[in-house]
Structure 1
Amino acid sequence: MNKKRILIVGGTGYLGQHLLQSFANLRTSSSYDLAFTYCSTPPSDLLHAFPQSLSFPLDLRIGDGFDFITDTFGQPDVVVNCAALSVPRACEADPVAAMCINVPKPLVSWISSFKEKETLLIHLSTDQVYEGTKSYYKEEDKTCPVNTYGRSKVAAEEFINSNCSNFAILRSSIIYGPQTISPVLKSLPIQWIDDILSKGNKVDFFYDEFRSPVFINDVVGAVIALTKKWVIDGIPMQLILNLGGPERVSRAQMAKVVAEIRGYDASLINLMSASSVDRGVKSPTDISMDINKLVNTLNIAPISFKDGVTLTLLNR
């Protein structure tokens, strides 16, 4: 049996690195060849950690680099697209860049150029495709984003649905977990809360903005389950799945869990309404998600927020 080829687009980011690590651990038993892309220069510690994995420069906006991947690695069996401009404020400041980067037109075109066999595209979307006016959104609910980031992700979903015959779109909530092998520059949510509470000063947290934060291992588990489903069954899919944790929690509730685990004084958590702050970008109020379809389709059960935070703080 030929080894299956897995390409992780955006492999130097937070999710990309965790996927690299997990697929590398699976590779011997599951017969995977692994490659990843990077935008500028790949971190040397990442290359050292995965010496058997191929790395490729790629400009996802214009597709510069795909020909070299084809010539060197060949057609992937699975492509996981983690690359995105994912900071809402940055998307609001440069909507053209947000649309260009987040709507993967060159990637889908490249995948579609292979004629002999299908490639599965696993694309990471966001909970911010929802408007945020109710609790526990389902995949069938109308997408009505309130900011540029959400609009760019809806546009990506629509483009993939119209131009790709074999895909799984994962609408992810806030992803949290331990730091990566090559530390990412962006602030990680649980580590940030832990650091700021450890200083002993009062900190404002929103009590009325709700999400379904998901532990990184559960995100990785969903991607691996989809990969195995395609590799074993070989039946093209067209799936959209909410990818969140099992609980609806506010920012303040997230902070309280960290405080409880670390033994910080809970009075340091000052409750504030999200509507009282201008963050330079609109933010949906409640985009908690119903994840029953994810659980039933992939037979996985995301862990509780408290358990995930405990694991995060133990492995910072």
Structure 2
Amino acid sequence: MSKKRVLIVGGTGYLGQHLLQSFADADSQLDLAFTHHSAPLLYAIPHVLSFPLDLRTCHGLDAISHAFAQSKTSIGFQPDVVINCAALSVPRVCEMDPEAAMSINVPTGLVKWLSSFGKSSLLIHLSTDQVYEGTKSFYKEEDETVPVNVYGKSKVEAEQYISAHCQNYAILRSSIIYGPQTISPVPKSLPIQWMDSVLAKGEPMDFFHDEFRCPVFVKDLVAAVQILTNQWITETKQVQLLLNVGGPDRVSRVQMAEAVAHARGYSTSLIKQVSASSVDRGVKSPCDISMDITKLVQTTGISPTCFAEGVRLTLEAEAKAKSSVKP
């Protein structure tokens, strides 16, 4: 029996690295590969193929097909599951360059490449909570999508394209993803680590009290992706899913910072509450895009980690990583 093939698009990013590590640790019966846009990272994971890929031009997809076809451990060249984590995901950057946001975030070339195969693959696509307008609490999947910025609009267009052109897909609307740093540290600022670093200075810091999200612990998101992947590989039944993927807690930035302060023993007096409307970030941001995750729990069976526990686990992992580094 041939190995099943899983391709992670955007494997050098934060979620992509966590997925690669988890898949490699959990199942040696997979042919695992990932794509990268810039320089590839060196992973302590054996037998993982890496490919350069430009999502704007889709240059690189043919090389992936050829490599899978030539692989001695694979029969055929089609990936069974493609997990698309790649995106231009900084809202301000998307606002400044809408053309780039649309060309990268709407995976038309990737979908066409997948549909060129005779046999169906499963596309797991990472979307965002920013598809919602932000005028109420706990959005459900069937609620209308009214994004307020280019990033959200690009993600709505991606969802519509995938649902219209893919036979099998799972679209995951993720909230803020937080958790431990990756094997090869990502350059972007991670939310819990950043809050810890600024509060550790002992100086007052402003945090928004009126923007609400349902941050998701990265290991919960990874677990959901693995469950959907394993179900597809085992059952190969038609999949057309849209899921909110958040944590169980609706929190503001103030409440997030307070959780970090409590975990680390910092004074909460350092946390100064300000309105999101008082800061010009160069892009409109939705006020409340907290999500109802009932469908996620029912579909995958996972029990998402509460925010305070996720903060504790994140900080413990960071401390362990620092202590293991030799001077």
Q: Is the CA contact (8 Å cut-off) linking 1:27 and 1:33 kept in structure 2?
A: no
Aligned partner of 1:105: which letter?
T
The number of residue pairs the alignment matches comes to 310
Which residue is equivalent to 1:254?
Answer: 256
Matches within 5 A, 1:179-194: 179-194=181-196
Letter in 2 for 1:107: L
Out of 75, 90, 94, which is 1:91 matched to?
94
In 2, Cα distance between equivalents of 1:27 and 1:33? 9
Determine the C-alpha separation between the residues in 1 that align with 2:304 and 2:235.
23
**Residue deviations 1:225-276, cap 9 Å, x none?**
1001101111011100000000100000000000000000100000011111
Q: Give CA deviations for 1:159-198 in whole Å, capped at 9, x if unaligned.
A: 0011111000000000000000110000000000000000
Q: Which runs of 5+ in 1 are unaligned?
A: none
CA contact (8 A) 1:125 1:172 kept: yes
Counterpart of 1:81 in structure 2: which amino acid?
Answer: N
SS state of the match for residue 27, structure 2? helix
Q: Which amino acid aligns with 1:69?
A: I
Which SS does the other structure have where 1:168 is aligned?
A: strand
Where 1:182 maps in the other structure, the secondary structure is coil
Which amino acid counterpart does residue 78 of structure 2 have in structure 1? Q
* Structure 2 spans left out of the alignment, 5+ residues: 69-76, 319-327
Q: Distance in 2 between matches of 1:257 and 1:300?
A: 23
**SS across alignment from 1:315:** helix
Q: CA offset at residue 40 of structure 1?
A: 1.8
The answer to whether 1:68 aligns with 2:59 is no
Measure, in 2, the Cα distance between the counterparts of 1:190 and 1:210: 16
Partner of 2:244: 242
Shift of 1:43: 2.0
- Which deviates more from structure 2 when the two are superposed, residues 231-240 or residues 250-259? 231-240
CA shift, 1:277, in A, is 1.2
Query: Which of the residues 41, 45, 48 maps onto 2:39?
Result: 41
2-structure distance, mates of 1:236, 1:91:
33
SS of the equivalent of 1:34 reads strand
**In 1, distance between residues paired with 2:114 and 2:106?**
14
CA distance, structure 2, for counterparts of residue 43 and residue 19 of structure 1: 14
Q: Which amino acid aligns with 1:113?
A: S
1:3-14 → structure 2 map (5 Å cutoff) = 3-14=3-14
Select the residue among 255, 271, 276 that pairs with 2:273.
271
Distance 1:143 1:118 in 2: 28
CA distance in 1, matches of 2:225, 2:204: 38
Aligned to 1:152: 154
Structure 1 counterpart of 2:104, which letter? I
Q: Equivalent residue of 2:272, what SS?
A: strand
Q: Following the alignment from structure 2 to structure 1, what is the Cα–Cα distance between the partners of residues 109 and 268? A: 49
- Deviating beyond 3 angstroms after TM superposition, the runs of 4 or more aligned structure 1 residues are none
Shift of 1:27: 2.0
How far off is 1:42 after superposition?
Answer: 0.4
Larger deviation, residues 70-79 vs 251-260: 70-79
Instruction: Specify the alignment match of 1:112 in structure 2.
Output: 115
- Residue 146 of structure 1 aligns to which amino acid in structure 2? V
Cα distance, 1:61 vs. partner?
A: 1.3
Q: Does 2:22 match 1:19?
A: no
**Offset from partner CA, 1:28-80 (integer Å, 9 cap, x none):** 2xx11100001121023x2xx12310001111111111111111112100000
Is structure 2 residue 124 aligned with structure 1 residue 122?
A: yes
Instruction: Name the SS for the 1:63 alignment partner.
Output: coil
TM-score (norm 2): 0.94
The worse-fitting range, judged by mean Cα deviation, of 63-72 and 260-269 is 63-72
Paired letter, 1:284: P
**What is the root-mean-square deviation of aligned Cα atoms in Å?**
0.7
Partner SS, residue 204 of structure 1: strand
Match for residue 50 of structure 2 among 15, 30, 55: 55
User: Any idea what SS the aligned residue of 2:93 has?
Assistant: helix
Task: Find the counterpart in structure 1 of residue 72 from structure 2.
Answer: none
The aligned amino acid for 1:286 is: D
Report the residue type matching 1:12 in the other structure. T
How big is the shift at 1:3? 1.0
Pairing of 1:216-227 with structure 2 (within 5 A):
216-227=218-229
SS of equivalent to 1:278: coil
Q: What does residue 177 of structure 2 align with?
A: 175
Alignment partner for residue 143 of structure 1, among 142, 145, 151?
Answer: 145
Q: Percent identity, please.
A: 67
Letter of the 1:94 counterpart:
D
Q: CA offset at residue 301 of structure 1?
A: 1.1
What is residue 284 of structure 1 aligned with on the other side? 286
Counterpart CA distance in 1 for 2:27 and 2:37 is 25
Aligned match of 1:103: 106
CA shift for structure 1 position 89: 0.4
